[in-house]
Structure 1
Amino acid sequence: MNVFDWLFRRDQSHARDDVRQALGRIVAVAPQVRLANRYEQRLAPAVGKTIDHARELVAALSAPRDAAPDAWASDPYLRAKFATPDDIVHVIGESHEVRGWFDDNIAADHAFAVLGATLVERGVLVAALEGGALRTDVARTAVSFDDKRMRFCSETDEALRHELVQRIVEQFALEAMSRVGAKEARRDALQEYRALLTARMQMLGRRGAGMSSLIASTDLAGDATRLQRDFEENEAALASLGSLADAIEMQIQTIIELLDEPSALISLTERTLCLNQMNLLMEARCDEPHADIAIQLARLPTQPPQTRAVEIVRIARRDVPPAGAAFAEAARMII
């Protein structure tokens, strides 16, 4: 066996391992899928397609950046996302995953995590020179990064990227179960409505029984016709959802449909922001000091769908604040 055959077989083995791991995560989210006929063979091709797409997205993420307070002054990326060096410490301290990972890995000096934030752009009026004159009402766009969170810790960049691929597959399963749940909720609502219609038809029948029809002031025949029409429409809607026995098949089919078209749900785009030191958007060619910040925006298949600025960061243990610091800060603000 030459080295190329060995590498090819190794890659195939890794791919099979990734698919098996992804199937395990799907089953953890949707355990009833295991009851479907040949569920592994049916899911595997679509899982492989999503894994390939997820790998491309994860590989496109930039190299890790040190999320260190002492790097804030010299790193325009950190200055764009964090208002002050203390803001970096605050976001690190708020992450239970970062704290938990360091607690579980006593010998580790660094951890790799995903920093996610919401890009916010808002119009502002600022003072600026225009045509040699100072104006105080110049319209500009201010940029900020809100709701900053650090998640998914790993020991190495490679391990984190592998975990992200699996997390993407897991998110697709969650989205599939959300859609299945919506169908089941509709089924429950239709069944409740059917019970209500049945009760109304029984009441209508009682109103027309014996001699009561001689004194009824309403059009019983018209009411019965409308109720029958509503009942038939409700039954047709229930039939379109399938029987309860089809629920497992509906789950696996929904998962396969989503996994088979991964790019329709999750994508990654890059955008370059030309920012001055006040985080105001500038023209690409301007005399004022500025920095070009390339950010990656991930469209995520969450409920509701979100777009987040994401990047991989490296966190030093020494920059994790003491466990009581967050509580002390909260108490100080309350007082």
Structure 2
Amino acid sequence: MSMFNWLFRRDAESSRDDVKEALGRIVALAPQVRLASRYESRLAPVAGKTLDHAHELVAALLPPRDAAPDAWADDPYLRAKFATPDDVARVIGESHEVRGWFDGHIAADHAFAVLGATLVERSVLVAAVEGGAMRSDVARTAVSFDDKRMRFCSGTDEALRRELVQRIVEQFVLEAMSRVAQKEARRDALQEYRALLSARMQMLGRRGAGMSSLIASTDLAGDATRLQRDFEENEAALAALGSPADSIEMQLQTIVELLAEPAALVSVTHRELCLNQMNLLMEERCDEPHADIDIQLAHLPTQPPQTRAVEIVRIARRDVPPAGAAFEEAARLVL
């Protein structure tokens, strides 16, 4: 069975298993939704829709690539993302997930993980031939990959892809909970503002008591009108957020709304880069040595939203640096 058969040959039972697992992960992150009316029947259809979308995205990821220091010289993808072979070993050694997975699977020789990085493009001036003459100030675009991390380890490519699908569902729930928290923070701010408006209205009433209205220099009626308008607008904004008693329903409804439109929040795009040996972007093909690499950019619904270059890599146990190597390197840099 090929590594993609699990996607295209899913029968109804396995699909239900996927949804069941997704529901379990949803309530683990947002346990209060269990108290909402018919939460399972309301979540299952939209969870299935997000799972289908996530399956398509994950299945489109390229086959695994060996992330090995000794493969750096011959692999243009590794050379584009890592400055040196030691850089490959450093990123592997800094991954707690990779180390933890190998520690928990003593007999395993390899692990599969997701390598994520931030694509950075910056303008630089380089020496190059332009118009038949050598110039030292030719504008080019330099490409680099920063903040490289290896995450989500599994023993096989297929198991890793299944885990990624469920992780996408989890990310939607996290985004929903973030939006709920923002609504609650706005409710608190509106309630504080309502208390302030009430205090101002009381002060304004006192200013008009007795004979003070005969000597007041301000327009009390105008101030009262403005305060009343602000108070009504504040009450309308609070009403739109619902009552605190509806918070559980609001959580569930927010999750349902996000899961119902998965393509609006998470996507993967492809971009082909033609890079020379200095990681300079070549806009026109020439005789200069270069490599064409296809990168996949995942647009993620984090706070704030992020775009990361992602690929699946295979890591050999022998390439994981000793546990003390990362600490020794950090100490050397500090000293």
TM-score calculated relative to the size of structure 1: 0.93
1:248-275 residue CA offsets vs partner (Å, 9 max, x unmatched) = 2222121111111111111111111111
Task: Supply the distance in 2 between the matched residues of 1:131 and 1:217 (Cα, whole angstroms).
Answer: 77
Number of corresponding residues = 328
Aligned to 1:111: 111
Task: Supply the distance in 1 between the matched residues of 2:10 and 2:116 (Cα, whole angstroms).
Answer: 33
Task: Supply the distance in 2 between the matched residues of 1:9 and 1:81 (Cα, whole angstroms).
Answer: 35
Matches within 5 A, 1:77-88: 77-88=77-88
Q: Is 1:43 the equivalent of 2:43?
A: yes
- Which deviates more, 139-148 or 161-170? 139-148
- Which deviates more, 87-96 or 128-137? 128-137
SS in 2 for 1:324: helix
Task: Supply the distance in 2 between the matched residues of 1:50 and 1:9 (Cα, whole angstroms).
Answer: 18
Task: Supply the distance in 2 between the matched residues of 1:138 and 1:213 (Cα, whole angstroms).
Answer: 75
Task: Supply the distance in 2 between the matched residues of 1:80 and 1:229 (Cα, whole angstroms).
Answer: 60
Task: Supply the distance in 2 between the matched residues of 1:281 and 1:62 (Cα, whole angstroms).
Answer: 22
Q: Is 1:71 the equivalent of 2:89?
A: no
SS in 2 for 1:79: helix
Task: Supply the distance in 1 between the matched residues of 2:27 and 2:34 (Cα, whole angstroms).
Answer: 7
Deviation of 1:212 after TM superposition, in Å, equals 4.2
- Which deviates more, 133-142 or 95-104? 133-142
Task: Supply the distance in 2 between the matched residues of 1:185 and 1:278 (Cα, whole angstroms).
Answer: 48
% identical equivalent positions: 85
Q: Is 1:235 the equivalent of 2:239?
A: no
What amino acid maps onto 2:140 in structure 1?
Answer: R
1:169-213 residue CA offsets vs partner (Å, 9 max, x unmatched) = 000111111111111111111101111111122222233334444
1:89-133 residue CA offsets vs partner (Å, 9 max, x unmatched) = 111111111111111222211111000011111111212233443
Task: Call closer, same or farther: CA 1:10–1:236 in 2, change over 3 Å.
Answer: closer
Task: Call closer, same or farther: CA 1:305–1:71 in 2, change over 3 Å.
Answer: same
What amino acid maps onto 2:331 in structure 1?
Answer: A
Task: Call closer, same or farther: CA 1:97–1:9 in 2, change over 3 Å.
Answer: closer
Q: Is 1:14 the equivalent of 2:14?
A: yes
Aligned to 2:305: 305
What amino acid maps onto 1:276 in structure 2?
Answer: N
1:269-319 residue CA offsets vs partner (Å, 9 max, x unmatched) = 111111111111124531111111111111111111111110000111111
Task: Supply the distance in 2 between the matched residues of 1:150 and 1:71 (Cα, whole angstroms).
Answer: 17
Aligned to 1:4: none
What amino acid maps onto 1:237 in structure 2?
Answer: A
- Which deviates more, 51-60 or 22-31? 22-31
Q: Is 1:291 the equivalent of 2:320?
A: no
Deviation of 1:52 after TM superposition, in Å, equals 0.4
Task: Supply the distance in 2 between the matched residues of 1:63 and 1:284 (Cα, whole angstroms).
Answer: 28
Deviation of 1:214 after TM superposition, in Å, equals 4.5
Matches within 5 A, 1:271-286: 271-283=271-283, 285-286=285-286
Task: Supply the distance in 1 between the matched residues of 2:108 and 2:229 (Cα, whole angstroms).
Answer: 69
Task: Supply the distance in 2 between the matched residues of 1:289 and 1:263 (Cα, whole angstroms).
Answer: 38
- Structure 1 residues not aligned, in runs of 5+: 1-7
1:200-253 residue CA offsets vs partner (Å, 9 max, x unmatched) = 222222333344444544333332222222111111111111112222222212
Task: Call closer, same or farther: CA 1:233–1:225 in 2, change over 3 Å.
Answer: same
Aligned to 1:154: 154
Task: Supply the distance in 2 between the matched residues of 1:227 and 1:171 (Cα, whole angstroms).
Answer: 42
Matches within 5 A, 1:24-39: 24-39=24-39
SS in 1 for 2:323: coil
Aligned to 1:187: 187
Q: Supply the RMSD in Å over aligned alpha carbons.
A: 1.7
What amino acid maps onto 1:135 in structure 2?
Answer: R
- Structure 2 residues not aligned, in runs of 5+: 1-7
Deviation of 1:10 after TM superposition, in Å, equals 6.7
Task: Supply the distance in 1 between the matched residues of 2:115 and 2:31 (Cα, whole angstroms).
Answer: 31
Aligned to 2:324: 324
SS in 2 for 1:117: strand
Aligned to 1:5: none
1:8-66 residue CA offsets vs partner (Å, 9 max, x unmatched) = 99721111111011111111221111111111111111100100000000000011111
SS in 2 for 1:107: coil
Task: Supply the distance in 2 between the matched residues of 1:91 and 1:177 (Cα, whole angstroms).
Answer: 31
What amino acid maps onto 1:304 in structure 2?
Answer: P
SS in 2 for 1:83: coil
Q: Is 1:264 the equivalent of 2:258?
A: no
Task: Supply the distance in 1 between the matched residues of 2:279 and 2:146 (Cα, whole angstroms).
Answer: 13
SS in 1 for 2:278: coil
Task: Supply the distance in 2 between the matched residues of 1:214 and 1:127 (Cα, whole angstroms).
Answer: 81
Matches within 5 A, 1:129-278: 129-278=129-278
